[in-house]
A = this chain, B = another copy of it.
Amino acid sequence: MTVTLADVAARAQVSPATVSRVLNGNYPVAATTRERVLRAVDELDYVLNGPASALAAATSDLVGILVNDIADPFFGIMASAIQSEIGGPGGRAGGERLAVVCNTGGDPERELTYLTLLQRQRAAAVVLTGGAVENEPHAAAVAAKLRKLGEAGTRVVLCGRPPAPDTRAIALTFDNRGGGRELTEHLIGLGHRRLGYIAGPEERTTTRHRLEGHRAALAAAGIEEDPRWTVHGRYDRRAGHEATLELLRRDPSLTAVVAANDSVALGACAALRESGLRIPEDVSVAGFDDLPFSIDAVPSLTTVRLPLAEAGARAGRIAMGREEPPPGGIAVVRGELMVRGSSGVPRG
């Protein structure tokens, strides 16, 4: 039925071992023999049995990429960059590897399950992107899993995620706190004193860090924060829309709205506009990430650019062992403040 290595060997009049070596190319095989084998492979339309090789060689060419939400360009961009370096087909890396993008949907359970599945497949490497969930038992479970993976020889890289202590995981962390702080400082510098903040889901490192940066800026400027000024929501436009309406209801005198990310900011803009408020004349808006569409917003969005593609590419290279991990296994990737049209001097 299905063509096996043995069939190819028979056809090429060589031993299965030789066929295997031709296909894997890490053992000297005479040119003429190789040719004969290759011809047989072609004629029989032979395709290697992945599981069988993985089993025999005790290694696989799967690389897992965990993302919170694959429909969100934030992750899409990172995944794309990682994948291009994994050297899947087209990448310059020799061995063809299958990059597996796993969508956790931000659910801790699924994250863990995917990790187990990857472990089961004996993945060559795993890259976890995006913020982690801040929930002690879960964090411990993930750390344990990562440790296991590391011990089993799977390279683990965290991209845009805080370091995981006691694991061999390499971490490329985004400086969310610093970015958040810089952003709010910019707004304060423009004269804003009453700033609403639309945070992401609670229990997320990303959410917390950005918010902490924001608060640090307020504190540094001697602005006392009103608890009504912070609203939590998901990382999408809809949440931004609703949260903004809520913010406006709580305190109509706000002159700026800082959003957890660009999508949220977009929703905020829509809500403000619907409320008859002009941006930035009446209310300034700021986002985070600088996704491609942010520059096309009207007015274009003031935000913090995160080098998603660069970080992803680097994570990918490290995962493939093609780049030295940063000293200490941890590198902080900084964001860059992008001042654009959505932020301005507050009215009156």
Contacts and interface: CB of A to CB of B under 8 A. Distances in A.
A119 interface: yes
A116 B298 contact: no
A267 B50 CA distance: 43
A99 interface: yes
A119 B69 CA distance: 27
Given A73-B73, A102-B88, A296-B237, A120 B49 contact: yes
B296 A269 contact: yes
Interface string A72-110: 110111011001100011100000101111110101011
Q: Which of A45, A55, A60, A273 has the most CB of B within 10 A?
A: A55
A31 interface: no
A304 to B, nearest CB: 19
Interface residues of A, number: 63
A24 interface: no
A30 B54 CA distance: 33
A7 to B, nearest CB: 15
Instruction: Report how many copies the assembly holds.
Output: 2
A55 B51 contact: yes
A229 interface: no
A192 to B, nearest CB: 23
Q: Which of A48, A54, A110, A293 has the most CB of B within 10 A?
A: A293
Interface string A38-76: 000000010111111011000010000000011111011
Interface of A: 2, 45, 47-52, 54-55, 60, 69-73, 75-77, 79-80, 83-84, 88-90, 96, 98-103, 105, 107, 109-110, 112-114, 116-122, 148, 152, 236-237, 263, 266-267, 269-270, 273, 292-293, 295-298
